[in-house]
Structure 1
C-alpha cells in the first residue's frame, strides 16, 4: 500500500472514530437536545454523497471512512428524530 493511501486511511480512522463518543452517549442517554436536526440531516446526506464518491472513484479511505461515519450519523439522526 502506498504512503498516500496510508495517510488517507489514518485520516479516515481519526475522523470516523471521533463520532463514536457522540453515538455512544446518544444511545445511552437518548439526549439529543444539543444536536441540531437540520445540521445532522445535512451532514448525514453529505456523508452519503462522500460514500458514493468513494465508491465511484474506488477510493478506499473515503469509502471506508464515510461508510462507517454514515452508520454513526444515521444512529444519531434517528435518535434525534425519535427522542426529540
Structure 2
C-alpha cells in the first residue's frame, strides 16, 4: 500500500513538474532555448518506461510516462518545425 502511494505521488510530481514547459511551448511556439536532443531523449526514455510499466503491471509508471512522453513528442515536434521547416520558409 505505501509503495503504491509513493508511486502515485511520484507520478503526480513528474507530470505536473513537466507540464509548465510543455504548455508554454505549445502556447508560444518559442523553442529557441530548448535543446532538441533533450526532448528526443526524454521521449525515448518515456517510451521505454511505458513498456517497462506494462511488463511489470505498474500503472503509475506507464501512465506517468505516457503523459510525459506525449508532451515530449509535442515539444520535440514544435522544435523540429521551428528549427528546420519554418526557417526554410523564411
After superposing on structure 2, the runs of 4+ consecutive aligned residues of structure 1 that deviate more than 3 Å are: none
Structure 2: where are the runs of 5+ without partners? 84-90
User: Which residue pairs with 1:43 in the alignment?
Assistant: 42
Contact 2:43–2:70 (CA<8 Å) still a contact in 1?
no
Q: TM-score, normalised by structure 2?
A: 0.87
Q: Does the alignment pair 1:57 with 2:84?
A: no
More helix, by proportion = 2
The unaligned stretches of length 5 or more in structure 1 are none
Once the 2 structures are TM-superposed, how far is the Cα of residue 9 of structure 1 from its aligned partner? 0.5
Which residue of the partner structure matches residue 28 of structure 1? Answer: 27
Q: How far does the alpha carbon of each residue in 1:20-49 deviate from its partner, in whole angstroms, 9 at most, with x for none?
A: 111111011111111111121111111100
The number of residue pairs the alignment matches comes to 83
Secondary structure of the 1:83 match is helix
Tell me which of the two structures has the higher relative contact order, counting C-alpha pairs closer than 8 angstroms and 6 or more residues apart: 1
TM-score, normalised by the number of residues in structure 1: 0.92
SS in 2 for 1:21: helix
SS at match of 2:27: helix
1:81 to 2:80 alignment = yes
